[in-house]
Every structure is written in C-alpha cells, then in structure tokens.
A and B are shown apart, each in its own frame.
Chain A
C-alpha cells in the first residue's frame, strides 16, 4: 500500500469465527485490524488508545454482544463526544429498526450475513467521507475525471467516492442512502418500486421490510432538505415507491 501507516479498524464481535474472517479480509484490503470480543473489551481498547497513531480509524460493532451491546457502547462514545466512525453489524431486524430509529450517529450498518467485499467497500467509503469532512478542500464537488453522473437539478453524484452533492454542498450520506439516491437519480422522474430500491441498495440479497426503505428515504429527504433541496426532491409514488423530481 502506498500509505505508510494503514488505517486501523477495530472489529468488535463475540463470534470468534466471524471475527477471524473479517480480520483476514480487512488485512488483505490493507487495513490494520484490532479485535474485541465484546463491548467492554472494545470500550477498554478505545479508552486505552488515546494516542492518535494507535487509535483505530473506524469501529465495526456487532450489536448483540455480551456484557455491553454495540448500541450501548456507541451511545457512550457519542455522549463522550467521540466521533469515531462506526459501522454496525446486526443480526436482528429489531436491532436494525433501532439503529435506524435512534439515529445514534452510526455511519453505516450491515445486516448479517454480509459480504466481506461489501464490508470493505463500506469501510473505505466511510473513511473517505470522514476524510473529506475533516479536510475543508474536499467539500468541493469532485474534480473532472471522476465518475460524475448527469443527475437532475443541482444533484451531483460521485459514484467512486460514494459522495453526493446538492448545489455544491456535500450530503453526508451512508452508503445505503447513497445507493438509494443513485438508484433514483438514474432515471429522474421515473418511479422506482421499493423492491428495486432494496435490490440496488442492499446488494447482499438480504430480506428487508419496506419499512426500512421508507426509513432510509425519510433520512435522505432530511439530508437533502438540510442541503437546500426542496421537501419534495424525492416524491412518494403512493403504493409503489419513490421517484426523484426531474
């Protein structure tokens, strides 16, 4: 890797086998990996590594862990003002609802079982977004040469960087939200069913309820509104799905 100090990722999951596989996969992708067997270990690790060099750049948190759940740990971290990016791993639909509902400030999540490649892609996307957030220059729309899409209105999509811009303002989207927006932006004005949105935004072939899509679209709308887009940038097609206003 060109980067002399590869970013470290903390993987907290009580499933030893899964942790080992995730570790192997992320190491192949060039990340440094630390492991924690439960929430308390993860908390201790983060608390014991205040030094920026040794501190992981991102945490992958399983939600159901003995002693301290991933949700509780994240709540603790955010209460302390720790903004370390977090990707959740969930195995319960109820947990998914809570992740989406509580808006704890997780950066993304993956339902189990997931693809390791997908996990690595999300880790990279989250890290890239965090980087662009901290570097002021990166708030500009992507330079020419990146895969820019002819999105409608003031929307610009950077498909490599999983970044979206509304009139030059970057939208702080999760990978899932980006994919939903990308799916809608492909053909502005054309309605997309919830099923087709699920197929595009959750490529792992997981089963999700329509409610989850609605929940994500709600958040996406909010983010668009905060960036200055109108309330109806994404229109609901009653009984079918959504469409992007051309």
Chain B
C-alpha cells in the first residue's frame, strides 16, 4: 500500500493560502453587506414614496399637480417616482422630463436614473478577469445549488404601459395597502428593480391614486462588485504574501529536510556511512539538530560497521593460519611414519585449540568492545592481588618463563581505591597486562603493580601500573600494540629455537588479543591505557580508570 505523497511545501502553501482565503470566501458568500444595503435601499424607497404620497394626499390628485410636486422635489430623490390615479393611469413620472423643462445637468440626472444603466466607468467591474476568477465558485453555487428564487416578472415592467394595474403592488396600493414587487432589471443585468407602491390617502379612506417608487439595485450591486473586486485584490496580495512566506518556510524547513533525505539515501547506497555524508545545516534549529543527530548516528553506525567488518576480516584472517596448518599436516599424514604421525596429530590438535582460542578471545573482545557493560565498582587492590597470584601461578606452571615475582603496592596516601569498572573486567584487563609483562620479563625477574589515585580535569582517576624489566617496546610499534592480533616478539629472545615445543606453545598462547582486550575494557569503562618506557629499562603499562563515586 502506498500512501499518497504530499510534499511539505505543498501543505505549507495550502495552509497559508487557506488562511487568507477563508475569511475572504466567508465575506463573499455571506452577503451580509449586500443584504443590509438592499434593505436600506428598500427602506429609503418606501420612505420617499410615503412622503410623496402624503404630500399628494393633501389635495386633489391631477397630472399637473403631480408633476408640479415632482418638480418641487427638485429631483433630489434617488428613486424613480411615478404617480398614478385611482384607475392606475400614469399621471407623472420623475424620469420623464416635461417638454418645457430645462435640460438638467448630467450629474443631477444620474442619481435617480433607474433601470438598465451604464456606469461612468468604461469597463464594468464585474467583467474584470479577477472578478470572474474569484466569483466563479459563487456563481456556480448560485446557478446550481441555490434554491430557485421566485420567478420574477420581466423587467421594464411598466415601460410602454399606460395602465399600471397589471402590477400586483399597484393594485394593492390602489386598494389602500402597501405593495411591493421585485423584478429583474432589463438588459440581461443581474440586478433587480425594487418596486414599492403606496396609496395616496384621501379623506374618505379610498386611495386617490398611488405612488410607485422604483429603483434598480444595479448601483448597489455595482458597488458591491467593486467592493468584491477590492477584496479579491486584497486576497491576491495576501496570496502572494503567503506564497512568499511559504517560500521562506520551504527554504528553511522543506528544503533542509529534503537535503537530509537525499544525504541519507546517498549514505545508505554507498554503505560508507562513516564518511560524514550528513552535512551540517546553516541554521541551528530543530532541523539542524536532526541533521547533527543523523550525522552522529551515521558516524556511529559507520564506526560500528567498520568495526564489524574489521572484526570479520580479522577473524577470517586469523582462522586461516591454523586452518592452513591443519590442512598441511593432514596432507602429510598418509605418507608419514609412526613418529611423524604422532607429531602431526599433536600439531593438528594444537592448531585446533589455537583456532578455538582465537574464536573465544574474539568473542570476549566483541562483548567488551561491542558494548556489553559490566557494573562496578571494583576494589582495585583486591583484584590486583588476586590477579598477581594467578599470573604467578601461570608463570610457574612451565609454559612461560618461570620464577617471575609479582608485587602489588598502593601509594601510601591513596586510601581506598575503588574504580568504576566491573571487577571481572578489571581482572581480565590486569591479567592480560600481567601475562604480557611476565612473558617479556627475563627469568627470575620482577613485575610490579602500583596503584594510585590522581585528579584530572574530568574527575578523579585510579591509576594502575604494571612495570616490567623486559626489552621494552620498539617506538615503531608503540601505536599498534593495542591492535587486535598485533604481535611482535623479538626472535630468539628467550633462547627458544624456532619450531621447538616451548616456542610453539608460547607463540600459540599469545594470540595478540590480550592488549586489545585491555584497551577495550579501559575504553568501555571511560578510561584509557597508556604505555611508556620504564626508567632503567622495561615497560610501564598504566590503566587509567575513573574512580567510583564515594
């Protein structure tokens, strides 16, 4: 199953645009403003009609008086006003100029012009592309989803008619009631014309006639269109601003993330995770943090990978030597004499042991280097004394040079020496150091273990030194002696002839893992191991371990 992919940048843009669009859309669709304008228009229409009707009701209703009254109004009304007699016949019309009247100024004329009209602007607002674009959804809604409105009678309803009784509102007015009608304006406009008819009162109660006030909503709608157009412009400006903001967000969020993704994929495909494929971001924000976390992650993964790779390579390399020897011995067996067979069998057994020791030692090393932590603290002196006893026993058992004495002493003012490392681990490391020292010591030599306490920049440390009087470490090997499987043993040092049993046995015991083990333990415990020449000849190995909190 594949989830649809929506880029962050698209979401950012979507949210920002929506934030701008929602209020605009609400404003456009609620039409509150339009409705209040329309009701104000109708109110004023009725008001004008009522005034006129009241005025006309003061006297006899005739065409001349009606016209005089209309003329007296000075055309300072916004609606088209028509005066009808009781039979519905037109007596006067504010939009029909009497032939003798002077031509009025265009600006005075414009306000009351009703019906289809042409605005002074050359280009009507509603034909602008912005308006079309933005009002599209609204138009669709009106066209397809809005409830159908009352069918409206044709516009210009009364044009060319002498008798106005066809209009329901006129009939109502002539019957003494208020009548109103709404009709679509002519000329394909979306505006409508409001008609209000009011009875002209008479003393006997029957209306003398009616006043018909009408006004097209066109001007209001045109105003609204302009308003909407402005809102549309504001929206477009807001959209541009939010796009700019989105771009900014894209630059600072989406793009760095994308880059991290690309880097991660590249790192994976190259397998060389350790090579710092995650480049630090320019800004230190959450993404920068993620980047450095990923960098750290990939570096450590890379370390781990190369560690595992080196480990496997070392293992296969070291195992091949005993294997080669076993295979060679096995090949010699068929043609060997009885004595030779015994030697070869012995050799095969020893090589098999060697292979087993290599595997076991590497297993131990991988547990330590690979991160299984023991728990401390360890009483350093107690561990050292135990290790010294065991190492002395081993050295006396005949495999190594014999009669090496091992002494353990603590600095007089050291107090209780407790290191933050598991006692088992410490014993393993110290045992390896002691075996190493013993094997390099001349016969009858002495190996010293000294324990001390020091203070370093990052806390209190326990120093545990192993000193021997061996031949020392050649400078060129200094930095390699802690590597897995690195061994150097001066040839013929202890008089063993190559190929003799003693030499073989000794060679097979030191698989080059002891010091690697020591370093692994020290590093895992948060310490280190140092080596130095001992004044007067020999070597000093020093384990520096963090002291256990007291």
Residues in A lying within 8 Å of B, measured CB to CB: 14-22, 24-25, 28, 35, 37-38, 40-41, 64, 66-67, 89, 91-94, 112-117
Contact = CB atoms under 8 A, between A and B. Distances in A.
Contacts of A67: 488
Contacts, number: 84
Nearest to A206: B320
Given A66-B487, A66-B489, A115-B327, A17 B332 contact: no
12 contacts: A15-B321, A15-B322, A15-B324, A16-B498, A18-B328, A37-B491, A91-B318, A91-B324, A112-B324, A113-B320, A113-B327, A115-B331
Nearest to B331: A116
A92 B317 contact: yes
Nearest to A16: B504
B252 interface: no
A41 B491 contact: yes
Contacts of B344: 21
A91 B331 contact: no
Nearest to A115: B331
- Interface range for B: 20 to 34
Contacts of A35: 498-499
A116 B326 CA distance: 11
B350 interface: yes
Nearest to B486: A66
B332 A112 contact: no
- Most chain A CB neighbours (cut-off 10 Å) among B325, B344, B489, B504: B325
A17 B350 contact: yes
Contacts of A17: 322, 325, 328-329, 347, 350-351, 504
A64 B485 CA distance: 11
Contacts of B332: 21, 24-25, 116
A34 to B, nearest CB: 11
B314 to A, nearest CB: 9
Closest 10 CB pairs of A and B: A21-B328, A113-B324, A91-B320, A112-B324, A17-B325, A18-B325, A113-B327, A112-B320, A113-B323, A116-B331
- Most chain B CB neighbours (cut-off 10 Å) among A16, A17, A19, A93: A17
Given A16-B498, A16-B503, A67-B488, A21 B321 contact: no
B479 interface: no
Contacts of A40: 491
Contacts of A113: 320, 323-328
B335 interface: yes
Contact of B313 (A21, A66, A92, A116): A92
Given A38-B491, A67-B488, A20 B499 contact: yes
A28 B335 CA distance: 10
B308 interface: no
Contacts of B335: 28
